[in-house]
Structure 1
Amino acid sequence: MTYSRDTTAISELTGETVSTWSEEWRIETEARTVLKISKQERDVFFNGRKDENGKTIDRGVVGIRGPQAAEAILEMARRLQEVRDAKK
């Protein structure tokens, strides 16, 4: 039996069809998540967290992918919020 799976979606940012396997889509979905979470959760998402002894237990985006990756997600979140605000 063969299954067909659609690997495209409509970008909320551009309104165009994009591949759900693309880097552009990955960053947009991360940006959507960032816009949904609280400031405290955002800080953990980007900067990680430490236990009560100061040991890192979650490195966050900056620790894993670096500051440029974190900035790309934040920039996408800003652009996405502007698009949402314009639609209101």
Structure 2
Amino acid sequence: MARTNEAQLNIRSRFARDRVTALARQTGMTATQVVEEALRAYAPPVEGAPPAGLVRRGRILVMPASGRPVTVADVEETLDEIRNERC
């Protein structure tokens, strides 16, 4: 008797097999459900896009601004404090 569903995926990675088994036990899902859910959630990185958490500013990658903006006066004040500590 022929199979009606020939879908099959063989994964030879010990890590993947162990991780899927552990997640299936923790969640009560089947191994197939765990793999399907992981594949639905996966989004490959976009070619040329900066790594997560960074933004491109010209030719360099920087962390996006958070909190209040830093002024030239703030920088000068901090540098003066550092210079005075060394004396």
The TM-score, its normalising length taken from structure 1, stands at 0.21
The TM-score, its normalising length taken from structure 2, stands at 0.21
The structure with the greater share of residues assigned to helix is 1
Larger Rg: 2
The structure with the greater share of residues assigned to strand is 1
